[in-house]
Structure 1
Amino acid sequence: MHADRIDVHDELANAKIGRVHVRLGILLALLTLFDGYDTFNPAYVIHYVRGPWGLSLQQAGILVSSGLVGFLCGAAIHGAIADRVGRRATLIAGLWITTVFSALTAVAAHSFGSFCILRVLTGLGLGVLLPLSTTYINELAPRRVANRFALWGVALGWAMGGAAAGLVGVFVTPRTGWQGLYWVGSLSVLLLPFLHLYLPESPQFALLRRNDDTVKAILAKLRPERAGYYRERSIIRTTVAVRTSALALLAVPYRRLSIAIWSTSFLSLFCIFGLSGWIPSLMQERGETFAASFAFGALMQVMSFAGGLVCGHLVDRTGRPRVWLCLWSFGGAVAVLALAFFHQHDVNVICTAAAGFCIIGGQFVLNNFTAASYETSTRATAAGMELAIGRLGAILGPFIGGALQQAFGGGDFMLVAMAIAATGAAICVLFARKSKLCRFDPSATTDGSAAVHG
């Protein structure tokens, strides 16, 4: 019917993974590596500053959470910006902000107050990187490997960054002090020239803005064997611009889906950041060595990628994301609960690894599920809002974790609270469905997600 015209969504969805796909995946993995690194390194600062700065456990929790306040703001507003000015410019700006304020943290954070202020400002950039990278890569991913491609291109980098924070905490900070964490983080400046040179605009965003020449140029790079076909044909327009405000996500087609995803993300990130912020300190209290305690945090991050990859593979094979996400969250809840009741070294290792595998790994797939569930015109806003609301939970996790430890004289009650949160996430994700009152066109996105037609 449309043999003489280009269906951009089908062209992207049916592409083979080629050299340009791999290059973009590597760029985004490096981008999110610095995001994951910077997100988790405050957990390794606590050991050095809690005594000198006279911090209570609640204040130590705030120190971990402070960057997440900025992240929340950045994630909440960046989607609307990216849906208007483009994915490329917004991503690059986010990394510039992160780089500059990471360096300033190493130089100028001399007190609890100055550290928290600089972390909030750094978080404004971090709030762009992960959600927008997820949006970007989902708009390029071939349909048959959508989750796996996104996991290799985004989740791998983020997990490696989180693990790197632990390694820097163990091997660098004893020589440099905690400031070494942020000097290493500021090395993201080396990535910026490559983003300026090699990161193209999202073809789906260019299509939405009717930039046909840009769309054809990007398609020709992704599928060079069809470059001649693209030059000779016009483009089919299957996407219509709609509102990009957060309120659009609560319209009738998406209301239940959005509320369920937001609730799941809130509870999941409450658990993830509560655990990541306190696991190193908790393990030291249980008698683990300094190096081993920091390594527990790295272990969670390494296992998170394996968990996300397995879950993403199962989702791609079965097409049942809600079921697998529920099972992953519930498995994480069981692991954290076991960690609360058994204090042996082997149990600490196994349950920490299982928590990373299930809870953080499942969060990666939830991010992809979110991006795949909305139209191009609202996708960046949807991904941003999911992680912005989730970051409310991330902010509360370390703070409430510290308050529970101070109130009950240990970490077991905190772990029980994290297990309850993970169980709640398992329940909430089951309700993440679009309204059945709408008619859908499965060809409207590269990942097979449905587009709404009134």
Structure 2
Amino acid sequence: MSSQAIDVHEELADAKVGAFHWRLGAIMGLLTLFDGYDTFNPAYVIHYVAGPWGLKAGQAGLLISSGLVGFLLGAALHGVAADKFGRRGTLLAGLWITSIFTLLTAVLANSFISFCALRLLTGLGLGVLLPLATTYINELAPRRVANTFALWGVALGWAAGGTLAGVVGVFATPTLGWTSLYWIGSLSFLLLPFMHVMLPESPKFLAIQGRVTEIREMLAKLRPERAHVYASATIAADKSQASGNSILELLQPKYRRTTIAIWATAFLSLFCIFGLSGWIPTVMIQRGETFAASFGFGALMQIMSFVGGIVLGHLVDRFGHSRGLLGLWWAFGGGAVLTLVFLNDHVVNVTCVAAAGFFIIGAQFVLNNFTAAAYETNVRATAVGMELGVGRVGAILGPFVAGALQQNYESSLPMFVSIGLAALAAGGIILLANRSSAKASTERLATSTAA
């Protein structure tokens, strides 16, 4: 009789991308499609409600930010629940909340106050979807293609959702009204039955819980060529736990530098993303673009964000140097936005907006993966949730500050200056993250096999 030590983490990391990976990636992609769609569609509401509701630019910024307040709360709190109760149930709860309040927005939102209140409640669900989908897919991604696989599974859906919001804004809202954005968004109800049936629990969370049978079944699906090994394995539960409050764990010495750098970078990055994407359709009309072209700029940003994320993720997977590449991406993005301060031409507008999506939003996708890789399983969902939760403070301020600057200066140029400088600062701060934190946090989930 002989024994073989099996490392669950290594089993997952060394797996080939197979049918089970692609199926889970598709589920996460559909999930984040509705997240991206719902996150960006308020930008296409402003044009229709600013006059009837008597909104000033600052109030219009709050209209965009209201959902982000809920997102902040959902992102900050969901990680604790996901690390304690599981990824699957928390994801499902987030999708239910998002679907219900998206539908209620279409039915009941008839004033500035009611719209903002319903968007805040919708945000509680949205705050679960993107960060937890990022955590989930990173816990399953093979090591050699970790960033690329996670981006195809999460970023593609999110970018496609943002693009869809622009398409609906251009083609549906002129005839069906702005509420059509939310009637279409409520189709997320159709995803719920599939999620309940097809979405398994994360194997790394199962290891912490000691749910041995489910671990065997999951590993056998991920690596069917080793199913006979897993069938006879005696799997020991991983007893690693956060020391007390899992949020405070992120500020312990081994994580502190990386945590602070990630939080500051996420704040600045999402300030740029939501400040720009929330106002770009309105601002481009002011810069002389047509209605259709102006609304199309939002879709262009989302399309290019996915391309930028994939390119950056591939470079990180192949060459490493994630901090330096992230810093470079935000520096290029900041330069593109600052170019809009000095030049106003259709070609320049298209090029710079496309570059902003490619570099700034593309870098944010990879920052989410960088965060997930930097922490152990027992605090990973909390870490990603807090990254996006703190970042959502910047996301809330972005549209509001952009609106306030336009109102005070009667020009969009100060808005572009603030967003461009924030992107440059994000590129510098991420370089302060501890390069070795991800390696130091790599968990070893021990198992044993009797042959």
Shorter-normalised TM range: over 0.9
Instruction: Report the TM-score, using the length of structure 1 for normalisation.
Output: 0.95
Whether the 8 Å contact between 1:254 and 1:434 is mirrored in structure 2 is no
Whether the 8 Å contact between 1:257 and 1:432 is mirrored in structure 2 is yes
Alignment match, 1:281: 282
Give 1:235 shift: 2.6
Distance (whole Å) between structure 1 residues aligned to residue 102 and residue 294 of structure 2: 24
Distance (whole Å) between structure 1 residues aligned to residue 441 and residue 255 of structure 2: 15
Alignment match, 1:301: 302
Give 1:257 shift: 0.5
Is the partner of 1:75 in helix, strand or coil?
helix
Distance (whole Å) between structure 2 residues aligned to residue 378 and residue 442 of structure 1: 12
Question: 2:56 corresponds to which letter in structure 1?
Answer: S
Instruction: Report the TM-score, using the length of structure 2 for normalisation.
Output: 0.96
Whether the 8 Å contact between 2:8 and 2:444 is mirrored in structure 1 is no
Give 1:380 shift: 0.2
Whether the 8 Å contact between 2:63 and 2:116 is mirrored in structure 1 is yes
Whether the 8 Å contact between 1:340 and 1:416 is mirrored in structure 2 is yes
1:319-334 equivalences under 5 Å are 319-334=320-335
Whether the 8 Å contact between 1:13 and 1:142 is mirrored in structure 2 is yes
1:85-164 equivalences under 5 Å are 85-164=85-164
Alignment match, 2:407: 406
Distance (whole Å) between structure 2 residues aligned to residue 417 and residue 441 of structure 1: 36
Give 1:238 shift: 5.9
Alignment match, 1:38: 38
Is the partner of 1:234 in helix, strand or coil?
strand
Distance (whole Å) between structure 2 residues aligned to residue 439 and residue 173 of structure 1: 49
Distance (whole Å) between structure 2 residues aligned to residue 302 and residue 414 of structure 1: 23
Distance (whole Å) between structure 1 residues aligned to residue 315 and residue 238 of structure 2: 29
Distance (whole Å) between structure 1 residues aligned to residue 180 and residue 213 of structure 2: 46
Give 1:241 shift: 1.7
Whether the 8 Å contact between 2:376 and 2:441 is mirrored in structure 1 is no
1:182 aligns with 2:192: no
1:412-431 equivalences under 5 Å are 412-431=413-432
Alignment match, 2:9: 9
1:203-214 equivalences under 5 Å are 203-214=203-214
Whether the 8 Å contact between 1:53 and 1:111 is mirrored in structure 2 is yes
Alignment match, 1:82: 82
Whether the 8 Å contact between 2:211 and 2:237 is mirrored in structure 1 is no
Alignment match, 1:193: 193
Question: 1:223 corresponds to which letter in structure 2?
Answer: R
Runs of 4+ in 1 over 4 A off after TM superposition: 236-239
Distance (whole Å) between structure 1 residues aligned to residue 282 and residue 342 of structure 2: 17
Distance (whole Å) between structure 2 residues aligned to residue 235 and residue 269 of structure 1: 41
Is the partner of 1:213 in helix, strand or coil?
helix
Question: 2:299 corresponds to which letter in structure 1?
Answer: A
Whether the 8 Å contact between 1:5 and 1:235 is mirrored in structure 2 is no
Distance (whole Å) between structure 1 residues aligned to residue 320 and residue 105 of structure 2: 44
Distance (whole Å) between structure 2 residues aligned to residue 442 and residue 104 of structure 1: 43
CA-to-partner distance for each residue in 1:51-74, whole Å, 9 max, x for gaps?
A: 000000000000000000000000
Distance 1:434 1:116, change over 3 A: same
Give 1:429 shift: 0.1
Whether the 8 Å contact between 1:147 and 1:316 is mirrored in structure 2 is yes
Question: 2:366 corresponds to which letter in structure 1?
Answer: V
Is the partner of 1:278 in helix, strand or coil?
helix
Is the partner of 2:139 in helix, strand or coil?
helix
Distance (whole Å) between structure 2 residues aligned to residue 276 and residue 377 of structure 1: 34
Distance 1:424 1:216, change over 3 A: same
Give 1:339 shift: 1.3
Is the partner of 1:288 in helix, strand or coil?
coil
Is the partner of 2:253 in helix, strand or coil?
coil
CA-to-partner distance for each residue in 1:123-177, whole Å, 9 max, x for gaps?
A: 0000000000000000000000000000000000000000000000011111211
CA-to-partner distance for each residue in 1:280-320, whole Å, 9 max, x for gaps?
A: 00100111111110000000000000000000011111121
Alignment match, 1:391: 392
- Which deviates more, 281-290 or 241-250? 241-250
Whether the 8 Å contact between 1:6 and 1:234 is mirrored in structure 2 is no
Is the partner of 1:444 in helix, strand or coil?
coil
Distance 1:148 1:393, change over 3 A: same
List alignment gaps of at least 5 residues for structure 1.
446-454
Distance (whole Å) between structure 2 residues aligned to residue 235 and residue 329 of structure 1: 44
Distance (whole Å) between structure 2 residues aligned to residue 41 and residue 188 of structure 1: 15
Q: Could you say what the CA RMSD is over the residues aligned between the two structures, in angstroms?
A: 1.6
Distance (whole Å) between structure 2 residues aligned to residue 418 and residue 12 of structure 1: 39
1:242-257 equivalences under 5 Å are 242-243=242-243, 245-257=246-258
Whether the 8 Å contact between 2:147 and 2:314 is mirrored in structure 1 is yes
1:223 aligns with 2:228: no
Distance (whole Å) between structure 2 residues aligned to residue 439 and residue 192 of structure 1: 36
Distance (whole Å) between structure 2 residues aligned to residue 55 and residue 233 of structure 1: 64
Give 1:93 shift: 0.6
Question: 1:101 corresponds to which letter in structure 2?
Answer: F
- Which deviates more, 126-135 or 228-237? 228-237
Whether the 8 Å contact between 1:30 and 1:157 is mirrored in structure 2 is yes
Aligned length: 444
Distance (whole Å) between structure 2 residues aligned to residue 193 and residue 238 of structure 1: 31
Distance (whole Å) between structure 2 residues aligned to residue 178 and residue 282 of structure 1: 19
Question: 1:326 corresponds to which letter in structure 2?
Answer: G
Whether the 8 Å contact between 2:103 and 2:186 is mirrored in structure 1 is yes
1:347 aligns with 2:337: no
Give 1:237 shift: 5.5
